[in-house]
Structure formats: structure tokens, C-alpha cells
Amino acid sequence: MNHFPEAWGRPRDDIYGPYNPSYLQTTGPKAYTQSPAVTGTSVVAVKFNGGVAIAADNLASYGSLSRFTDVKRLRKFGDTAVIGFSGDVSDMQYIDRLLDSIDIRENYSAHGNTLNAKNLHTYLSKVLYKRRSEFNPLWNHILVAGFDDNKKPFLSSADLLGTTFSAPHLATGFGAHLAIPILRRLFPEERPVEEISKDEAVTALRECIKVLWYRDARSLDKYSLAVITAQGIDIQEDQQVEAQSWAFAETIKGYGAQVN
Amino acid sequence: MTTFMGQPHSEAIGYSFTQTASVPIKEHSFYPYTDNGGSTLGITGSDFAILAGDTRSVAGYNINSRYVPKVFKIGGDDETGDGAHILLSVVGFAADGQALKERLDAVVKMYKYQHGKSMSVGACAQRLSTILYQKRFFPYYVHAILAGLDEDGKGALYSYDPVGSYEREQCRAAGSAASLIMPFLDNQVNFKNQYIPGSGEGHALEPKRAEPLPRDTVERLVRDAFTSAVERHIEVGDGLQMMVITSAGIEEIYYPLKKD
């Protein structure tokens, strides 16, 4: 029996030969996340008269593997805001834990203020910017939906570099290519947000998720949808893409170049 | 014989406590910058200064948003920037630009609280240079332009490189379309390559002397510069935000640009 606990469980050198510690990197720079591992794909969101709607599918991919098929990527903050995460899922869980601790602290505080979506977005963008400045990024692109100080619908984005921007409709990842053109056609810039109804916004997001399901290989037909209004947050996490049309698939043979 | 906590001990069996193998230095694959595109432009007159920038934000070939301001009021009394007497424009990496703007804003505010008077543009210009140079080895990746009125009430304009080199100028264009706008400004503001007709033979012509331009002329030049830049540069467009600083205060003008 060896009396040094540090030696317990270690392979004995006389049997196994000296342990090769080369994979335990002790020299060189400290390694931080240089690429994401388990990732979530697009988040789409749109403002409407009196609120914001936001949607994301329930998939967490590990490269091209559909690894976790029941991951909720829309997170509630109190009853004022919803944050949609794309990118690294472990970093999402870290940020979620961070937000939970803030929520608890705020609820116990005596000042009685509640953090709105705008405050939250400012905070998160600073967290992301700080981490990128330390060369240790939180590998996420997030959308924050809720209300600003004037109780007007608020929708803004922040990414792993700390870049922020806002628009009446936003999408991350693949959605920036596939969903934005759909949303822009449905809700052109000339049309004020006040004219867009809640139902219209929700229907549009469902359509976007469907298109993403058709064309984004790292997507899923199960998704979450949240609607934030002055009445509160309505979040549904077990939605299914309805009325799928795979009829076109019947006609596809081979790899395109093949005719019959 | 092996060692434990650096001390040799007499255990017969060896365990691998020490790590000798060194690993080659790993390269970071995370790049902490991005180019958010757009252009800014500043021109001074005898009793005013204009700072302008387009409002498009891009990431590669994607348009993030059509309204992300690049020109900011510095040292205002509140969030809206009322009471400010200095303007700052930042173009390049938007997250750094935001951080830089917030730092300078805090500095100018603190100056007022500590000294009981507003910071002069000259002092603010030197301070901005110092802030930029402090991050000499991890720079704020932005081209900044600072504008205000000097002690004599004349328009003052200072332009910077990302590491803090700065210079007072009559006019300056920065950002992605700087190379398109700057030669236009050289000709139209500083009258470069303009000669007084009939003032001499051949190359002995007398150059036209540059004089401060009236405000309406400058505003027209700014608009022309941007409408032209929009035609020839894909990262410039959507909207033109102009801030005019005079002894009466700061006036903000928005002028739509082509969104294609």
C-alpha cells in the first residue's frame, strides 16, 4: 500500500512504464475555447405591435451529429425577457447560470427595480466583449427579446466578439441567410411595427423555422417559440413543424447529375 | 526512485509525478476582430464642425442592420447625449468602437465633475490618443474622428489611427470608403489641383487657396460624398447620420441612402 494519496489510482511505472504526460499541456499558452463543440443553430425573432416573438429549434449538434434533440435554447429571464442562444451549448448553460444568479440577486435586493431586456442585453454584450478581450470567448450569438425602458418592444443581438446590433427582425447563423429574406418580404421596412399583429409574427416565425428545417442540415423539426407581451411571457417548448411537404423529394434521383 | 513534491523518497515503485515532455506552442485560432464596414466623414467650417457616417452594419457579405449609428455625442448629461459639446465617430470593429466611445464619454463626464468645467476639445483629443495608445499591443481596431469647437469657437476636427496617432485637420474620411471619399474632399474642401484661371503660364498657375466653407456647402458635400460612395462600395449605404456642432449645440440630421 502506497501512503501517498497522490499516487493512488495511478499506473505503476514498473508495470506500465513511465506515464506519458505530454497530452497534459503545461507549457505554452493556456488553451481556451478555440472552437465550439456542441452547438445550437439559428434563432429567429421579430417585433410586432405590443411585443416580440422569438423561436429556435430544440437541437444541439455535435459537429454533423444530431447529439441532443431536446435542448431548450430559449431561456426566460424573470418575466421580462427571453434570450435565444445559438452557438456553443455549454457556454449557453454557463450564461444561463449567470443570469439565474443575477435574477436571484435582483429579486432579493431592496431597490425594487427589475432588469428589462435592454438592461440584460447591455450586460450580456459586456460579458461577451470582456471574454473576447481575454481571448477566452463565450462562443455564442444571442438575441435578446423583451421591452426597453419606455415599455416599447425591444429586440437586439450580441455575438461572441461583443458586436451588437438591433433591427425589427433578426436571425442568427443560417437564419441570417434564410429567414431574414422571408421576414423582410412579410414585414417590409415601410410597414411600421405597430401594423404587425402577434398572430402574423408567430405565423411568420413558424414559416421561417420550417424553411430552416428544409434547408439547414443542422436543424430539427421540434422547436420552441416564445411570445413576449406586456401580459408576460408565453413560451412553448414542444412545437412541431406542421404541414411539411417532402413531395419534391420523390422526384429526386441520384445526386443531381443522374437523370434516371 | 521517484520524487514527491520535489523531494526524493525511498518508495521502491515509481510513479509519474513529474512531467517532463514539453509540447510545441499552440496557435490561437480565435480571431478577436471583425470588420463591420461603413464609412465616416468629418469637415470643419469657421464656426461649426460636421461629423457624418452611414448607418449600415455588415459582417462579410451580410447586412447586420440598416441602422447602427457610428457618430456619438460625448460628455452628455444623460443617455440621450443632451448637453454634449464633443462628437466622436468610430468606424471599423463596432464592438471596440462602442467600448472606446463609452470610455471617452466616462472620461469627459468625470472631467466635468472633478474640474467643474467642460473638457476642451484639444484636451479630449489628447486624452483619446492616450486611451488608444494604452492598448497599443491589442488595439481598438477603429478609425476615430473627434469633432467640436475650439477655444476660439472655430470648428475643430481630429483624426486618429487605431493606435492613437492623431492630427488636427480640416476634413477627413475614414472607414471602408475612405479611399473613395478622401480625394473628393481634397479637391472640394482643400481645393487641391484647383488653380486660379489665367494666373500664369503652364505649370506656373497660382493654386486656389483653401478657405473655410459655409455650412450649407459642407452639408451638400457630405451628402454627395456618401451618395457616391454608396454607388461604388457595397459596405456603405442604408442611411446617412449627420451631426452638426455649432455654438448653439448639436443638431442631428438623418438622410436616407440607397439600401441595395
Q: Which residue has the higher pLDDT, B69 or A11?
A: B69
Q: B67 near A167, Cβ under 8 Å?
A: yes
Most confident of A1-15, A16-30, B30-44: B30-44
Chain B residue closest to A21 (CA)?
B19
pLDDT for B148: 98
Which of A72-76, A250-254, B185-189 has the weakest average pLDDT? A250-254
Task: Assess whether pLDDT exceeds 80 at residue A21.
Answer: no
Q: Is residue A258 part of a domain?
A: no
Q: Which amino acid is present at B44? A: T
Asked if residue A27 belongs to a domain, the reply is: no
The size of chain A, in residues, is: 260
Asked which of A36-40, A237-241, A252-256, B148-152 is least confident by mean pLDDT, the reply is A252-256
Q: How far apart are CA A246 and CA A243, in angstroms?
A: 10
Nearest to A174 by CA among A34, A52, A39: A39
| Mean pLDDT confidence for A141-155 | 96
Distances (CA, A) of B203 to B187, B196, B198: 18, 12, 11
Q: Specify if B195 maps to a domain.
A: yes
- The predicted model gives A86-105 an average pLDDT of 95
Q: In terms of Cα–Cα distance, which of A39, A52, A82 is closest to A205? A: A52
In a domain, A31, yes or no: no
> Containing domain of residue A103, as a range?
38-241
Tell me what the pLDDT averaged over chain A comes to.
91
- The one catalytic residue among A26, A33, A39, A122: A33
ipTM higher than the 0.90 cut: no
Residues from chain B that touch A32, judged by Cβ atoms under 8 A, are 30
The whole-number pLDDT of residue B1 equals 42
C-alpha to C-alpha distance for B219 and B53, rounded to whole angstroms: 12
Give the pLDDT of residue A16: 82
DSSP structural state of residue A24: S
Q: Considering only CB atoms, which chain B residues are within 8 Å of A13?
A: 2, 13-16
Annotation marks residue A33 as catalytic: yes
Residues of B in contact with A30 (CB under 8 A): none
Is residue A86 one of the residues assigned to a domain? Answer: yes
Would you call A18 and B59 a contact, using CB atoms and an 8 Å cutoff? no
User: Does residue B166 sit within a domain?
Assistant: yes
- Assign A256 a pLDDT band (cuts: 50, 70, 90): low
Domain CATH number, residue B233: 3.60.20.10
Q: Does B204 touch chain A (CB under 8 A)?
A: no
pLDDT at A122: 97
Taking the CA of residue A243 and the nearest CA in chain B, the distance in Å comes to 30
Q: What stretches of chain A show up as alpha helix (H) in DSSP?
A: 13-16, 89-108, 117-133, 175-186, 198-215, 247-251
Answer for the pair B173, B225: CB distance below 8 angstroms, yes or no. Answer: yes
Locate B148 and state its grid cell.
467640436
pLDDT-wise least confident of A36-50, A106-120, B54-68, B166-180 = A106-120
- Give the domain range for residue B245: 39-255
Quick one: closest CA in A to B70, which residue?
A: A165
Q: Is residue A137 part of a domain?
A: yes
Provide the number of structural domains found in chain A.
Answer: 1
Contact with chain A for residue B114, Cβ under 8 A: no
Judged by CB atoms closer than 8 Å, whether chains meet at B29 and A2 is answered as no
Total domain count, chain B: 1
Q: Does B140 contact A at CB distance below 8 Å?
A: no
Residue A156 lies in a domain: yes
A positions 140-199 inside 8 Å of B (CB) = 157, 161-167, 170, 176-177, 189
Residue A80 sits in a domain whose CATH number is 3.60.20.10
Question: What pLDDT, on the 0 to 100 scale, is given for residue A254?
Answer: 75
Average confidence (pLDDT) over A144-163: 96
CB contact under 8 A, A12 and B17: no
Look at residue A5 in the predicted model and tell me its pLDDT: 73
In which residue ranges of chain B is pLDDT below 50?
Answer: 1-5
In a domain, A204, yes or no: yes
Cβ of B4 under 8 Å from any chain A Cβ? Answer: yes
pLDDT tens digits, residue range A59-71?
999 999 999 999 9
8 Å CB contact of B28 and A22: no
Question: Is residue A2 pLDDT above 60, yes or no?
Answer: yes
Which one of B2, B95, B138 has the shortest CB-CB distance to A129? B95
Chain A partners of B33 at a C-beta cutoff of 8 Å?
161
Task: Report which listed range, A27-36, A111-120, B244-253, is most confident.
Answer: B244-253
> C-alpha angle B183/B189/B194, rounded to 5°?
75
Stated pTM of the model:
0.86
- Contact criterion met (CB < 8 Å) for A28 and B26: yes
Per the domain annotation, does A163 fall within a domain? Answer: yes
Model confidence pLDDT, tens digit, residues B173-197: 999 999 999 999 999 999 999 999 9
Residue B36 Cα distances to A126, A165, B64, B103, B109, angstroms: 18, 11, 9, 20, 28
Q: Are A159 and A141 in contact (CB under 8 A)?
A: yes
- pLDDT at A7 > cutoff 90: no
Q: How many H-runs (helices) and E-runs (strands) does chain A carry?
A: 6, 13
